[in-house]
Structure 1
Amino acid sequence: MPRIELRTEIKADKEIVFDLSRSIDLHKISTEHTNETAIAGKTSGLIGLDESVTWKAKHFGIYQKLTSKITEFDRPNYFADEMVSGAFSGFKHEHHFAELNGGTLMTDFFDYKSPFGILGKLADRIFLKKYMTDLLTERNRIVKEFAESDKWKQILTE
């Protein structure tokens, strides 16, 4: 099972970074290039424990649906979302937040299992792990951009 680990240093309060990371609205902004839309469950605002969201997005030229649910939640330190249904055989995305030099260290652990057995493992090596890393890196770039400016107020005060 592949694991992606990302660490992002953000010069902002941990509570702000935590809430931006669970914002449906900010997620939509960070995935504009895939036409990602929340179509069921929690479709805007801040997602919380035991809530789910179904996303529709275009990946590899094909529209897909994916439902994930918040399964663990400890504001403002940690939350996890897990796939309920979708293209993967499964995934768990852990979001960790720690204070660091007056700001926040945001650490992501994304564990996933590709479908299709050996073909899925081959896809992981050839392109899927890089594709998923790039998606998560872009998401984190947007979280950082909003948290380190006044843009976060547009998301968290609506």
Structure 2
Amino acid sequence: MGIYTLERTQAIPSSLEKVWDFISSPDNLKVITPDYMGFDIVSRNLSSKMYPGMIISYKVSPLMGLKFLWVTEITQVKEFEFFVDEQRVGPYKFWHHQHHLKEIDGGVLMTDIVNYQPPFGILGDLCNTLIIRKKLQEIFNFRTQKVQELFGKF
């Protein structure tokens, strides 16, 4: 019944403002999510800018085409530096995702830190070892590729 961490960094050859505008817009979540996940935002009247307290509801199919409702809350935002989303309803027992940006020579360093706990105790730990961790890495690999397509390779 562990809490696991996935950390990823990506250097992006673009301005801090452009990267922030892209990653902090809920509309772009679908762009950086693999099509097979069937990602659909179901929230109505979402603001184009994230703010603390914002609730985003969506449907996803991470495994075997099963649709899950996933509700996240944006709990913290420091413009051009970071924001945090936390699961309120969804497939994980615990989900806390930090998105950090830092200006570097020639662009921006984007760092994601995801702390998560699968459901179902020891069975969830086994599923993490066999499936979940690999699936999360695959999703973040896809995202890295999409960000490179959009902003270029560093």
Q: Which runs of 5+ in 1 are unaligned?
A: 150-158
Q: Aligned runs of 1:143-158 on 2, under 5 Å?
A: 143-148=147-152
Q: Percent identity, aligned pairs only?
A: 26
3-state secondary structure, aligned to 1:29: coil
Aligned partner of 2:27 in structure 1 is 25
3-state secondary structure, aligned to 1:118: helix
Number of residue pairs the alignment of both structures matches: 149
Contact kept, 8 Å, 1:90 with 1:114, in 2: the verdict is: yes
Aligned partner of 2:15 in structure 1 is 13
Write 1 or 2 for the structure with the bigger share of helix. Answer: 1
Aligned partner of 1:35 in structure 2 is 38
Contact kept, 8 Å, 1:72 with 1:79, in 2: the verdict is: yes
Structure 1 residue 45, shift from structure 2 partner? 2.8
Aligned partner of 1:77 in structure 2 is 81
Q: Aligned runs of 1:108-127 on 2, under 5 Å?
A: 108-127=112-131
Q: TM-score w.r.t. structure 1 length?
A: 0.86
Contact kept, 8 Å, 1:41 with 1:52, in 2: the verdict is: no
Equivalent AA in structure 1 for residue 4 of structure 2: P
Contact kept, 8 Å, 2:4 with 2:115, in 1: the verdict is: yes
Aligned partner of 1:156 in structure 2 is none
Q: Aligned runs of 1:49-88 on 2, under 5 Å?
A: 49-61=52-64, 62-88=66-92
Q: TM-score w.r.t. structure 2 length?
A: 0.88
Cα RMSD, aligned residues only? 1.8
Instruction: Write out per-residue CA displacement over residues 55-112 of structure 1, whole angstroms, 9 at most, x where no aligned residue.
Output: 1011212111100011111010111100011110011000111111120000000000
